[in-house]
């Protein structure tokens, strides 16, 4: 038996590829019905087809998480399509511009904060009431190793990912006793489309690999395993915490 009953519903943002796709596929394998969301309609629809081909239930809803109305509509879509909401993974995010603080473009800052930080807030703002109405459940906010440390040239990304930890703790304090557990997962550098540009520079890529004591980058499936488990009843005493998945990066 999987983690979830066939009546339980999960929403995954940024589900068109990478960690989001792996989370959506694993939710389905563990028995949940899944709403996949992304701005990439082709990729998101492909994730849904992969779930259906494997015998699961899923639907796609396009949404830009920087738009609160779109996130509200996404949660309502899950309720209307599958009858409720029990698990939410606020995963959608972008890397942003690489530049030192004094040179960081304002539009780049605003874009990263809108998607990576405000998008998580909107997910919880509209997702928590839906989870409460469904009898309880869990949220995972996709943080980063850069929620705990900085990295030169990525001030907006680092700021947003640090903020996710604070929002996660606040939500856990406010809603855990009511039946909504909230945690943050912090991936290291993972083999996803987000790092495709880095792979064009073998020296930079190798430096990233060497920053992980385990000797490699992570796989999306490795992040999904922890994320989906945290959303299940098997993690029933886990809330308000930050769980890095990073091959030893933070131990240095």
Catalytic residues: 157
Q: Are strands 180-187 and 137-142 parallel, antiparallel or unpaired?
A: parallel
What distance in Å separates the CA atoms of residue 148 and residue 231, rounded to the nearest whole number? 22
Contact 134, 9 (CB under 8 A): yes
Six-digit token pair at 5?
A: 């009953």
C-alpha closest to that of 219 among 246, 183, 250: 246
- DSSP summary character for residue 99: B
DSSP for 112-138, please give it. HIIIIIIHHHHHHHHHHHHHHHTT-EE
∠ CA 235-240-245, rounded to 5°: 70
Q: State the helix-helix crossing angle for 18-29 and 220-230, rounded to 10 degrees.
A: 50
Neighbouring residues of 196: CB distance < 8 A, sequence distance ≥ 6: none
């Amino acid at each position: 038996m999987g983690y979830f009953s066939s009546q339980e519903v999960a929403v995954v943002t940024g589900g068109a590829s990478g960690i989001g796709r792996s989370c959506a596929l694993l939710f389905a394998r563990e028995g949940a019905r899944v709403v996949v969301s992304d701005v990439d309609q082709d990729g998101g629809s492909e994730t849904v087809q992969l779930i259906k081909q494997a015998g699961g239930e899923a639907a796609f809803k396009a949404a830009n998480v920087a738009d609160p109305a779109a996130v509200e509509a996404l949660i309502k879509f899950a309720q209307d399509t599958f009858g409720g909401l029990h698990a939410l993974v606020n995963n959608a995010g972008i890397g942003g511009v690489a530049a030192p603080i004094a040179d960081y473009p304002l539009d780049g800052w605003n874009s990263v904060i809108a998607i990576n930080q405000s998008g998580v807030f909107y997910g919880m703002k509209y997702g928590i009431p839906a989870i409460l109405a469904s009898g309880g459940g869990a949220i995972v906010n996709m943080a980063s190793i850069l929620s705990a440390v900085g990295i030169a040239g990525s001030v907006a990304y680092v700021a947003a990912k640090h903020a996710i930890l604070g929002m996660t703790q606040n939500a856990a304090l406010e809603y855990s006793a009511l039946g909504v557990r909230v945690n943050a997962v912090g991936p290291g550098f993972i083999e996803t489309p987000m790092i495709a540009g880095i792979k064009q520079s073998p020296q930079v890529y190798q430096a990233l690999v060497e920053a992980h004591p385990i000797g490699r980058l992570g796989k999306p499936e490795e992040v999904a395993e922890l994320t989906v488990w945290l959303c299940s009843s098997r993690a029933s005493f886990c809330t308000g915490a930050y769980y890095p998945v990073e091959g030893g990066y933070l131990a240095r």
